[in-house]
Amino acid sequence: MESQGWLLRIFEMLFEHAAGASAKPQADKASVGGSLGIEATGYRTKSAILNRLQMTDDGTFGLLQLEHGPLLHSGELPWKNNMPGRSCIPQGQYRCTWAPSAKLGRACYHVRNVPGRSHILIHPANFCGDADLGRRTEIEGCITMGMTIGNLGGQMALLDSRKAVSLLEDWGHQEDFDLTIL
């Protein structure tokens, strides 16, 4: 855990910066346009930062730090120019909302306003590899979480994914949050 202390401090500084930048009241929620900040109610939306650390044919792996919450491992498809169903989404700031998913048959977090993309979900999965190269994948552009990264059948994979997604959902309380992907 000591080896992650420096990384946690970086996340804390990023959250402090985001909170300071958003401390100016906004006219109304519509004028905010889903950006980080104070909404018309005066309530500051929770934030999470996904820091991509490793891009391989087995997937794009990183860490998701939830504001005042746990640090989780993340998995996405490798970058392929934002190609739907084949690529992770671009770096940027996104609003995540809780909504039903017909595909999953239950509600989950949806990543909104992704340029050129739709139906980007956060859900459990172990594999996020490049299917064009014969790697196993269980996602089509979505984001998945894990408690750790390991090896399953010779491929890097997220482990304890359901537990990690459950922690994210418990942290979010089915409320919107802002996601920054670095």
Q: In this predicted model, what pLDDT tens digit does every residue of 59-85 receive, in sequence order?
A: 999 999 999 999 999 999 999 999 999
pTM for the model stands at: 0.79
Structure tokens at 126: 């172990």
Q: pLDDT at residue 31 above 50?
A: no
Q: pLDDT at residue 26 above 80?
A: no
In this structure, the number of other CB atoms found within 10 A of the CB of residue 6 comes to 8
What is the average pLDDT across 125-145?
A: 98
Q: In this predicted model, what pLDDT tens digit does every residue of 83-120 receive, in sequence order?
A: 999 999 999 999 999 999 999 999 999 999 999 999 99
Helix (H, G, I), strand (E, B) or coil at 13: helix
Burial class (CB in 10 A: 0-12, 13-18, 19+), 52: middle
